[in-house]
Chain A
Amino acid sequence: MPSGYKDWHKGVKADIIAQTLEKIAVDIVASSIGNLPIDIKAQTISNLDIDIAAQTIERLIQSPSYGGARQFHSSTGADPDVETLIGRISGSGIIYGGYLFWQYDEANPYDEVKVVIDGNDCGSWFIEDLAKWHIDSGNMWWFVVHYRSATDYIGILKCAEGITFEEEFAVYFTADPDGGSKIVELTLIYALR
Protein backbone atom coordinates (compact mmCIF):
# COMPACT_ATOMS: atom_id res chain seq x y z
CA MET A 1 0.00 0.00 0.00
CA PRO A 2 1.56 3.37 -0.95
CA SER A 3 0.90 4.94 2.43
CA GLY A 4 3.75 7.37 2.03
CA TYR A 5 2.00 9.03 -0.86
CA LYS A 6 -0.32 11.73 0.36
CA ASP A 7 -3.93 11.45 -0.84
CA TRP A 8 -3.08 8.39 -2.97
CA HIS A 9 -6.55 6.99 -2.46
CA LYS A 10 -8.32 10.00 -3.95
CA GLY A 11 -7.07 9.32 -7.40
CA VAL A 12 -8.01 5.66 -7.15
CA LYS A 13 -11.48 6.52 -5.91
CA ALA A 14 -12.08 8.93 -8.76
CA ASP A 15 -11.12 6.30 -11.32
CA ILE A 16 -13.48 3.75 -9.83
CA ILE A 17 -16.40 6.17 -9.92
CA ALA A 18 -15.74 7.01 -13.53
CA GLN A 19 -15.68 3.37 -14.54
CA THR A 20 -18.84 2.55 -12.64
CA LEU A 21 -20.81 5.34 -14.22
CA GLU A 22 -19.77 4.24 -17.64
CA LYS A 23 -21.13 0.76 -17.04
CA ILE A 24 -24.36 2.05 -15.59
CA ALA A 25 -24.90 4.21 -18.63
CA VAL A 26 -24.77 1.11 -20.81
CA ASP A 27 -27.36 -0.56 -18.60
CA ILE A 28 -29.74 2.35 -19.02
CA VAL A 29 -29.60 2.06 -22.76
CA ALA A 30 -30.48 -1.59 -22.27
CA SER A 31 -33.64 -0.35 -20.47
CA SER A 32 -33.05 -1.58 -16.93
CA ILE A 33 -33.64 1.81 -15.33
CA GLY A 34 -35.99 0.73 -12.58
CA ASN A 35 -33.52 -1.10 -10.40
CA LEU A 36 -30.64 1.33 -10.61
CA PRO A 37 -30.21 3.64 -7.62
CA ILE A 38 -28.04 6.07 -9.53
CA ASP A 39 -27.68 9.71 -10.28
CA ILE A 40 -29.88 9.87 -13.35
CA LYS A 41 -28.81 13.45 -14.01
CA ALA A 42 -25.39 12.24 -14.90
CA GLN A 43 -26.76 9.87 -17.51
CA THR A 44 -28.43 10.12 -20.88
CA ILE A 45 -31.84 11.48 -20.00
CA SER A 46 -32.28 13.39 -23.22
CA ASN A 47 -32.06 10.22 -25.28
CA LEU A 48 -34.56 8.35 -23.13
CA ASP A 49 -37.30 11.01 -23.32
CA ILE A 50 -38.41 10.31 -19.76
CA ASP A 51 -39.90 12.78 -17.32
CA ILE A 52 -37.88 11.78 -14.26
CA ALA A 53 -39.82 13.98 -11.83
CA ALA A 54 -43.19 12.55 -12.86
CA GLN A 55 -41.78 9.04 -13.27
CA THR A 56 -43.61 8.65 -16.54
CA ILE A 57 -42.76 7.95 -20.10
CA GLU A 58 -44.60 10.42 -22.26
CA ARG A 59 -45.03 8.09 -25.18
CA LEU A 60 -44.19 4.48 -25.68
CA ILE A 61 -44.20 3.12 -29.19
CA GLN A 62 -44.20 -0.62 -29.45
CA SER A 63 -43.92 -2.07 -32.90
CA PRO A 64 -42.60 -5.22 -34.52
CA SER A 65 -39.44 -4.98 -36.51
CA TYR A 66 -40.51 -6.71 -39.69
CA GLY A 67 -37.35 -5.55 -41.42
CA GLY A 68 -35.41 -8.06 -39.38
CA ALA A 69 -37.99 -10.82 -39.66
CA ARG A 70 -37.48 -14.16 -41.34
CA GLN A 71 -39.77 -16.74 -42.83
CA PHE A 72 -39.47 -20.26 -41.52
CA HIS A 73 -40.92 -23.15 -43.49
CA SER A 74 -40.93 -26.88 -42.84
CA SER A 75 -42.71 -29.72 -44.62
CA THR A 76 -42.63 -33.38 -43.67
CA GLY A 77 -44.65 -36.52 -43.15
CA ALA A 78 -46.04 -37.34 -39.71
CA ASP A 79 -46.80 -40.96 -38.91
CA PRO A 80 -49.73 -42.13 -36.76
CA ASP A 81 -49.08 -42.20 -33.02
CA VAL A 82 -45.51 -40.91 -33.47
CA GLU A 83 -44.53 -37.49 -32.16
CA THR A 84 -42.72 -35.79 -35.01
CA LEU A 85 -40.71 -32.59 -34.70
CA ILE A 86 -42.06 -30.36 -37.46
CA GLY A 87 -39.74 -27.44 -36.80
CA ARG A 88 -37.59 -25.66 -34.27
CA ILE A 89 -36.21 -22.14 -34.06
CA SER A 90 -33.34 -21.72 -31.61
CA GLY A 91 -32.19 -18.40 -30.23
CA SER A 92 -33.94 -15.52 -28.53
CA GLY A 93 -36.80 -13.93 -30.42
CA ILE A 94 -40.47 -13.48 -31.18
CA ILE A 95 -43.05 -15.23 -33.36
CA TYR A 96 -45.07 -12.66 -35.28
CA GLY A 97 -47.44 -15.25 -36.73
CA GLY A 98 -47.71 -18.24 -38.98
CA TYR A 99 -49.74 -21.34 -39.69
CA LEU A 100 -49.76 -25.11 -39.60
CA PHE A 101 -51.23 -26.82 -42.65
CA TRP A 102 -51.97 -30.52 -43.00
CA GLN A 103 -54.08 -33.09 -44.79
CA TYR A 104 -57.21 -33.18 -42.71
CA ASP A 105 -59.06 -36.47 -42.39
CA GLU A 106 -62.57 -36.26 -40.95
CA ALA A 107 -62.66 -39.98 -40.28
CA ASN A 108 -59.49 -39.75 -38.15
CA PRO A 109 -59.43 -36.20 -36.82
CA TYR A 110 -57.46 -36.74 -33.62
CA ASP A 111 -54.21 -35.23 -34.82
CA GLU A 112 -52.28 -33.61 -32.03
CA VAL A 113 -50.11 -30.50 -31.93
CA LYS A 114 -47.58 -29.81 -29.18
CA VAL A 115 -45.56 -26.67 -28.54
CA VAL A 116 -42.29 -26.53 -26.62
CA ILE A 117 -40.87 -23.17 -25.60
CA ASP A 118 -37.47 -22.84 -23.95
CA GLY A 119 -37.43 -26.52 -23.11
CA ASN A 120 -40.85 -26.39 -21.44
CA ASP A 121 -43.65 -28.56 -22.73
CA CYS A 122 -46.37 -25.95 -23.20
CA GLY A 123 -49.09 -28.50 -23.74
CA SER A 124 -50.76 -30.23 -26.63
CA TRP A 125 -54.24 -30.26 -28.18
CA PHE A 126 -56.14 -32.51 -30.51
CA ILE A 127 -57.21 -30.58 -33.58
CA GLU A 128 -60.71 -31.96 -33.12
CA ASP A 129 -60.92 -30.58 -29.59
CA LEU A 130 -59.58 -27.19 -30.64
CA ALA A 131 -62.46 -27.04 -33.08
CA LYS A 132 -65.04 -28.45 -30.65
CA TRP A 133 -64.10 -25.93 -27.97
CA HIS A 134 -63.94 -23.07 -30.47
CA ILE A 135 -60.31 -22.34 -29.75
CA ASP A 136 -60.29 -20.32 -32.90
CA SER A 137 -59.22 -16.75 -32.28
CA GLY A 138 -56.63 -14.47 -30.74
CA ASN A 139 -54.20 -15.99 -28.29
CA MET A 140 -56.50 -18.67 -26.84
CA TRP A 141 -53.72 -21.19 -27.38
CA TRP A 142 -50.41 -21.28 -29.22
CA PHE A 143 -52.27 -22.40 -32.34
CA VAL A 144 -55.95 -21.75 -33.05
CA VAL A 145 -58.28 -23.23 -35.64
CA HIS A 146 -58.36 -21.18 -38.80
CA TYR A 147 -59.95 -23.57 -41.27
CA ARG A 148 -60.65 -27.25 -41.72
CA SER A 149 -62.60 -29.03 -44.40
CA ALA A 150 -63.51 -32.64 -44.95
CA THR A 151 -64.27 -31.97 -48.59
CA ASP A 152 -60.96 -30.53 -49.68
CA TYR A 153 -58.94 -32.31 -46.97
CA ILE A 154 -57.37 -29.19 -45.58
CA GLY A 155 -56.71 -28.27 -41.99
CA ILE A 156 -55.13 -24.95 -41.10
CA LEU A 157 -54.18 -23.74 -37.64
CA LYS A 158 -53.10 -20.15 -37.13
CA CYS A 159 -50.18 -19.40 -34.83
CA ALA A 160 -50.85 -16.94 -32.03
CA GLU A 161 -49.08 -13.60 -32.42
CA GLY A 162 -46.32 -12.24 -30.27
CA ILE A 163 -44.97 -15.42 -28.69
CA THR A 164 -41.54 -14.71 -27.30
CA PHE A 165 -38.84 -17.27 -26.60
CA GLU A 166 -35.41 -17.09 -25.02
CA GLU A 167 -33.91 -20.35 -26.26
CA GLU A 168 -36.25 -22.22 -28.58
CA PHE A 169 -39.69 -22.47 -30.11
CA ALA A 170 -40.56 -25.97 -31.35
CA VAL A 171 -43.69 -27.54 -32.84
CA TYR A 172 -44.48 -31.27 -32.78
CA PHE A 173 -47.28 -33.14 -34.57
CA THR A 174 -48.73 -36.57 -33.88
CA ALA A 175 -51.12 -38.00 -36.46
CA ASP A 176 -54.26 -39.77 -35.28
CA PRO A 177 -53.29 -43.32 -34.19
CA ASP A 178 -56.21 -44.76 -36.15
CA GLY A 179 -55.43 -42.92 -39.36
CA GLY A 180 -52.63 -42.81 -41.88
CA SER A 181 -49.52 -40.67 -42.26
CA LYS A 182 -50.08 -37.01 -43.01
CA ILE A 183 -48.07 -34.32 -44.70
CA VAL A 184 -47.65 -31.36 -42.37
CA GLU A 185 -46.37 -27.92 -43.27
CA LEU A 186 -45.35 -25.24 -40.81
CA THR A 187 -44.73 -21.63 -41.75
CA LEU A 188 -43.69 -19.00 -39.22
CA ILE A 189 -42.79 -15.34 -39.43
CA TYR A 190 -40.32 -14.58 -36.68
CA ALA A 191 -37.40 -12.43 -35.64
CA LEU A 192 -34.34 -13.05 -33.53
CA ARG A 193 -32.97 -10.49 -31.09
Chain B
Amino acid sequence: MSVDVEIKGFEEFWRKDKKVKLVIFRIKGEKRLRDLEIDPNREYSEEELKEVIKRHLTQSGQR
Protein backbone atom coordinates (compact mmCIF):
# COMPACT_ATOMS: atom_id res chain seq x y z
CA MET B 1 0.00 0.00 0.00
CA SER B 2 1.37 3.41 -0.94
CA VAL B 3 1.96 5.78 1.94
CA ASP B 4 1.95 9.55 1.68
CA VAL B 5 4.54 11.35 3.82
CA GLU B 6 4.90 15.01 4.67
CA ILE B 7 8.36 16.36 5.46
CA LYS B 8 8.19 18.82 8.37
CA GLY B 9 11.84 19.70 8.96
CA PHE B 10 15.30 18.57 10.01
CA GLU B 11 17.49 18.30 13.07
CA GLU B 12 21.28 18.63 12.85
CA PHE B 13 23.24 17.79 15.98
CA TRP B 14 26.30 16.04 17.35
CA ARG B 15 26.56 12.72 19.12
CA LYS B 16 30.00 13.38 20.56
CA ASP B 17 32.10 13.73 17.42
CA LYS B 18 29.61 12.34 14.96
CA LYS B 19 27.41 14.76 13.08
CA VAL B 20 23.84 13.50 12.82
CA LYS B 21 21.00 14.70 10.62
CA LEU B 22 17.40 13.62 11.08
CA VAL B 23 14.52 14.29 8.76
CA ILE B 24 11.30 14.92 10.68
CA PHE B 25 8.22 13.69 8.89
CA ARG B 26 4.63 12.71 9.34
CA ILE B 27 2.63 10.03 7.62
CA LYS B 28 -0.45 11.77 6.27
CA GLY B 29 -3.44 10.87 8.39
CA GLU B 30 -1.35 10.46 11.52
CA LYS B 31 -0.68 13.05 14.21
CA ARG B 32 2.65 11.87 15.55
CA LEU B 33 5.93 13.02 14.09
CA ARG B 34 8.56 10.45 13.18
CA ASP B 35 12.23 10.85 12.35
CA LEU B 36 14.79 9.08 10.25
CA GLU B 37 18.57 9.47 10.25
CA ILE B 38 19.97 10.50 6.87
CA ASP B 39 23.41 11.24 5.46
CA PRO B 40 24.37 14.68 6.88
CA ASN B 41 26.78 15.34 4.04
CA ARG B 42 24.37 14.75 1.20
CA GLU B 43 21.79 17.03 -0.38
CA TYR B 44 18.44 15.38 -1.07
CA SER B 45 15.61 16.62 -3.23
CA GLU B 46 12.19 16.43 -1.59
CA GLU B 47 11.10 13.56 -3.82
CA GLU B 48 14.32 11.68 -3.16
CA LEU B 49 13.84 12.11 0.56
CA LYS B 50 10.27 10.88 0.42
CA GLU B 51 11.42 7.77 -1.41
CA VAL B 52 14.09 7.14 1.25
CA ILE B 53 11.44 7.48 3.97
CA LYS B 54 8.96 5.20 2.20
CA ARG B 55 11.65 2.57 1.66
CA HIS B 56 12.56 2.75 5.34
CA LEU B 57 8.91 2.37 6.41
CA THR B 58 8.46 -0.65 4.15
CA GLN B 59 11.72 -2.36 5.14
CA SER B 60 11.13 -1.80 8.86
CA GLY B 61 7.64 -3.23 8.58
CA GLN B 62 6.02 0.00 9.70
CA ARG B 63 4.09 0.18 6.43
Interface contact B33-A89, CB-CB below 8 Å: no
Alpha-carbon separation in the docked complex, A77 to B18 (Å)? 11
What sequence of 0s and 1s flags, for each residue 97-118 of chain A, a beta carbon within 8 Å of any chain B beta carbon? Answer: 0000000000000000000000
- Which residue of A has the minimal Cβ distance to B24? A192
Q: A89-B9, A91-B9, A93-B9 are in contact. Are A70 and B14 (CB under 8 A)?
A: no
Q: A68-B31, A70-B24, A192-B33 are in contact. Are A77 and B17 (CB under 8 A)?
A: yes
Interface contact B11-A87, CB-CB below 8 Å: yes
Alpha-carbon separation in the docked complex, A186 to B31 (Å)? 26
* B16 on the A face (CB < 8 A): yes
Q: A68-B31, A192-B33 are in contact. Are A90 and B12 (CB under 8 A)?
A: yes
* A76 on the B face (CB < 8 A): yes
* A75 on the B face (CB < 8 A): yes
Output the least CB separation between B60 and chain A (Å). 20
* A85 on the B face (CB < 8 A): yes
User: Which residue, B13, B17, B24, B33, has most C-beta atoms of chain A within 10 A?
Assistant: B13
What sequence of 0s and 1s flags, for each residue 69-94 of chain A, a beta carbon within 8 Å of any chain B beta carbon? Answer: 01011111100000001111111110
Interface contact A192-B13, CB-CB below 8 Å: no
* B10 on the A face (CB < 8 A): yes
Q: Which residues of A contact B31 (CB under 8 A)?
A: 67-68
- Which residue of A has the minimal Cβ distance to B12? A88
Q: A68-B33, A77-B17, A192-B24 are in contact. Are A91 and B12 (CB under 8 A)?
A: no
* B15 on the A face (CB < 8 A): yes
Alpha-carbon separation in the docked complex, A86 to B12 (Å)? 9
| Subset of 19 A-B contacts with CB under 8 Å | A68-B33, A70-B24, A70-B33, A73-B13, A74-B13, A86-B14, A87-B11, A88-B10, A88-B12, A89-B9, A89-B10, A89-B11, A90-B10, A90-B11, A91-B8, A91-B10, A92-B9, A186-B13, A192-B24
Residues of A within 8 A of B (CB): 67-68, 70, 72-77, 85-93, 186, 192-193
